[in-house]
Structure 1
Amino acid sequence: MLEFSGQGARLAFVDEPAVGFDRGEPILLIHGFASNHAVNWFFPQWVKTLTEDGRRVIALDNRGHGRSQKFYAPADYAIPKMAEDCRRLLDYLDIENADVMGYSMGARIAAFLAKVHPDRARSIVLGGLGHHLINGAGLPLGIADAMEAPSAADLTDPMQLLFRSFAEATGSDLKAMAACIRGIRQHLSEDEARRIDVPVLVAVGTRDEVAGDPHRLAALFPAGEALEIPGRDHNRAVGDPVYKNGVLRFLAQRP
């Protein structure tokens, strides 16, 4: 893995060239809460899919996650600050603009990147995040409590248990994850979403109880479209072929 520093944070990332090309068109991948670049993008074969499609893939470990620096204050995980990490990574790699795909928390970060720096995102894919980008503030705060519980065995709420087990499986720093949940509470207004004037694909599983309505969100963007991923919940939609094929089609058709 490679590293760069910005905003007082040491961040890890990978930069994978397109198969058969010198570099390929860049796409920035932003993973979800308690995940990392490998779990979100390498294990489900996203990097292979995109590099074989002629794309240069840049994927970072968000602050507090994976091999990036850990922080323990909620303010360090504000979504605008995490979006700036992504912008600084593009600067570091001398990339003027890129397609951007985020999943769940990563989708929220991608939306804020497009809002604040509209010239840097050529298009955005919001995976695992629907209208809760507008009317929700991320995962329930009870997830933070779950990260601080003595053990997963002490939890009875299904969602708390799900995310605590996932964080343990990915080797996440539980204290940092609790701070992250408490920090990523920012959302966009409908007017802010309407001003994101690049192609936007909103991809959500039909059994996803976390994301919110993809069609309602997609309708707000001037160039938005929704993609339903049949039969998939929040965690199982990531590597679905319908999602992958929809993204490849979207990237091929956007200007």
Structure 2
Amino acid sequence: MDHFDSDGVDIAYLDTGGGDDGKLPVLLIHGFASNVATNWVNTGWVTFLTKAGYRVIAFDNRGHGESQKLYELVDYGAPLMAEDARRLLDHVGVARAHVIGYSMGARIAAFLALSHPDRVGRVVFGGLGINMVRGMAGTGPIARALEAPSIDEVTNPAARTFRAFAEQTKSDLKALAACIRSSRAPISAEMAGEIAAPVLVAVGDVDVIGGSAEDLAKLIPGARAYVIPGKDHNRAVGDRSFKAEALAFLASDEA
């Protein structure tokens, strides 16, 4: 991982693959409590995309992975984290890129597409459907689960899942608690309708965290929905059919 300064915050990133002529680079934005390695490398996404001829750029969100850990609520929020993505594109000299975001990363990708439409080609919202607009419930229990002295003290099943995943990824629990407690700027149905980039919404058919892919796609002009068969929120990330659908969607610009 290389590092760069994003307005005073140290951000770790990966930049790999030569990229074929005519193909925009692909920017990958991971989900909450994850990182580049867990979300994109270990699931095969980076290899899959580079073999398909794409330059791949991915970064650890602030408070995650190898990036700087911050502990104040004002240090987080999807609009602010979208600016980290934009600054990374500036840093690596990329004027425009396709974007694939998963879960929290999809929300960040949406704000990037809204704030900087000229920097975004096609966008894939993975693992986040209509709940992008409805918002995420239960952030308080998740934050308390992250702050608990031990996972053994966490009784809420959903919150315990987040705590277990955060421990698995060796995350800074205090930084993640601040991230999830931070002001979560809403994306309204009207804002979703203003996304100008072509969009693919891909969510597992039993993903209760992300919500319906079809319902979100209906709000975004021209958006397509793909329901990942037999997958919940965590298992959908590396699904082969998801990769194939995303690749076909990105390649449709180059046909």
TM range, normalised to the smaller chain?
over 0.9
Structure 1: any 5+ residue segments left out of the alignment?
A: none
Q: Does residue 10 of structure 1 match 2:7?
A: no
CA distance in 2, matches of 1:173, 1:87: 24
Pairwise CA distance, 1:187: 2.0
Q: Secondary structure at the match of 2:99?
A: strand
Q: Is the 8 A contact 1:128 1:211 kept in 2?
A: yes
Pairwise CA distance, 1:141: 2.4
Matches within 5 A, 1:114-133: 114-133=113-132
Q: Structure 1 length normalisation: TM-score? A: 0.96
Q: Is the 8 A contact 2:24 2:96 kept in 1?
A: no
Give the equivalent residue in structure 2 for 1:163.
Answer: 162
CA distance in 1, matches of 2:165, 2:241: 24
Q: Output one character per residue of 1:116-159: Cα deviation in whole Å (capped at 9) or x when no partner.
A: 11111101100000011111147632111100011111112111
Q: Which residue identity does 1:114 align to in structure 2?
A: A
Pairwise CA distance, 1:6: 1.6
Pairwise CA distance, 1:231: 0.8
Pairwise CA distance, 1:220: 1.1
CA RMSD, Structure 1 to Structure 2 (Å): 1.5
Report the number of matched residues: 254
Aligned in 2, Cα 1:179/1:228: closer, same or farther, shift over 3 Å?
same
Pairwise CA distance, 1:17: 1.2
Give the equivalent residue in structure 2 for 1:199.
Answer: 198
Pairwise CA distance, 1:24: 5.4
CA distance in 2, matches of 1:190, 1:138: 17
CA distance in 1, matches of 2:242, 2:229: 9
Q: Is the 8 A contact 2:154 2:160 kept in 1?
A: yes
Q: Output one character per residue of 1:226-251: Cα deviation in whole Å (capped at 9) or x when no partner.
A: 01001111001000011111101111
Aligned in 2, Cα 1:23/1:62: closer, same or farther, shift over 3 Å?
farther
Q: Which residue identity does 1:55 align to in structure 2?
A: Y
Q: Does residue 208 of structure 1 match 2:172?
A: no
CA distance in 1, matches of 2:233, 2:190: 26
Q: Secondary structure at the match of 2:49?
A: helix
CA distance in 2, matches of 1:51, 1:136: 33
Q: Secondary structure at the match of 1:209?
A: coil
Aligned in 2, Cα 1:82/1:5: closer, same or farther, shift over 3 Å?
same
Q: Does residue 78 of structure 1 match 2:83?
A: no
The runs of at least 4 aligned residues of structure 1 exceeding 3 Å deviation read 21-24
CA distance in 1, matches of 2:138, 2:242: 22
Q: Structure 2 length normalisation: TM-score? A: 0.96
Structure 2: any 5+ residue segments left out of the alignment?
A: none
Aligned in 2, Cα 1:23/1:151: closer, same or farther, shift over 3 Å?
farther
Q: Does residue 107 of structure 1 match 2:106?
A: yes
CA distance in 2, matches of 1:184, 1:249: 35
CA distance in 1, matches of 2:239, 2:144: 30
Give the equivalent residue in structure 1 for 2:224.
Answer: 225
Q: Is the 8 A contact 2:139 2:181 kept in 1?
A: no
